[in-house]
Structure 1
Amino acid sequence: MTNLVVVSAGLSSPSSTRLLADRLTAATLSHLDAEPHIVEVRDLATDLAQHFVTGFPSDRLAAALDAVAAADGLIAVTPVFAASYSGLFKSFFDVIDKDALTGKPVLLGATGGTARHSLVTEHALRPLFTYLRAVALPTAVYAASEDWGGEGLAERITRAGAELARAMAPRTTAPDVDTAAAIAPRSLTGAITSVDPADGFQVVPFERRLAALRVE
């Protein structure tokens, strides 16, 4: 089964960060059969501090890091502090192996008290996951306090979840052959007038076409 890991860095319980993470998870699972695994970074705060000092992760921190490394897709949600991700959120991703997220699709989310921080997903989160060589999905979701009862948030969550589900879906068929690549060898010697001669067109050799133009 496809493995979805959700990293939530909210500081309170309950928190709007966890609420957004849960809604993004539900939107993804509505399109995908996956097994979600929730990582509450708040519960790992002491473990992270000890890891920075000793260089050795505790058993539960190691389990969380292993879960992220084994995931087929990731949802990462942070509260906004000083116009950026929280220190706790950054600390968690600081201790992840540098190759753990390579090529992994990631849905970015953030919560804050005001809409003025809505670009935090673009100027802070997206560069972080690009550095980690993850594939940050096009739609990132920021939820300000006033967004929870307003219009637009539900649509963004639905769109983002669908994007992550598509990125995580196992490929069961081979990709289509690129038409341009398929006809490239013929284009070296002929002027292509149709990909399929059965359409009633034909491939005219370049020399013949050039001769016809000279006569005209």
Structure 2
Amino acid sequence: MKLVVVSAGLSVPSSTRLLGDRLAAATAERTSAEVRVVELRDLAVEIAHVFTNGFPGKELSAAFDAVRAADGLIVVTPVFSASYSGLFKSFFDALGATDQDALARKPVLIAATGGTARHSLVLEHALRPLFAYLKAVVVPTGVYAASEDWGAEGLDGRVERAAEELAALMAGLSTAAGGTGDAMEVVPFEQQLAALRPAG
């Protein structure tokens, strides 16, 4: 299986990338998936050019192909003005412009980083609606990491829970597809959620 992390972090090192890496490691542990990271910072110029000339450059095309081929997706953005970053949104706008169904039925784990816990609702108010609109299957647990969360209790548990949910969806969809890559019979989302709930 293939797992792709889309990170919109701008700094080096980046807490956004760090959160993406932790989520990917926890998910790969459960799926043995091959992990690829797409750093949007490196694609900023090509993303801008898509909106002026209509064609993605070589590196951006490769990133789009990786996202389309992924069995699961982890998307992580820093919070800007109480929402996802412009670079993050532009990447998915550009992807949608080239293929409206690129994320259809694809399991997606949403995550974000910010300086304060007050912006944690960005997951529900901005990211979840965006990926629902893009027809993705968004896992129930989103992960937000404020500055004070690093090294504190709670973050590890959220990472593990979200990774378990993503891994279960990836495995369910892979089984439904029969591992052939052909058109798949999707397991109903309610049935997949029921399988994630603890017994009793």
Q: TM-score, normalising length from structure 2? A: 0.84
Structure 2 distance, partners of 1:149, 1:162, is 21
**Partner of 1:37 in structure 2?**
36
**Partner of 1:71 in structure 2?**
70
**Partner of 1:17 in structure 2?**
16
Name the SS for the 1:159 alignment partner: helix
**Partner of 1:180 in structure 2?**
none
Q: CA RMSD in A?
A: 1.6
Structure 1 distance, partners of 2:117, 2:169, is 28
Q: Does 2:162 match 1:163?
A: no
Residue deviations 1:182-209, cap 9 Å, x none? xxxxxxxxxxxxxxxxxxxxxxxxxxxx
Offset at 1:130?
0.4
**Partner of 2:191 in structure 1?**
none
Offset at 1:149?
2.0
**Identity, % of aligned positions:** 68
* Paired amino acid for 2:46: D
Structure 2 distance, partners of 1:131, 1:162, is 24
Q: Which has the higher helix share?
A: 2
**Partner of 1:102 in structure 2?**
104
Matches within 5 A, 1:149-188: 149-169=151-171, 170-171=174-175
- Runs of 4+, deviation exceeding 4 Å: none
Structure 2 distance, partners of 1:21, 1:111, is 10
Q: Structure 2: state its 5+ residue gaps.
A: 179-200
Structure 1 distance, partners of 2:134, 2:51, is 19
Aligned residues: 174
Structure 1 distance, partners of 2:151, 2:67, is 32
**Partner of 1:121 in structure 2?**
123
Structure 2 distance, partners of 1:44, 1:98, is 20
Structure 1 distance, partners of 2:64, 2:175, is 26
Q: TM-score, normalising length from structure 1? A: 0.78
Structure of greater Rg: 1
Offset at 1:10?
0.1
Offset at 1:30?
1.2
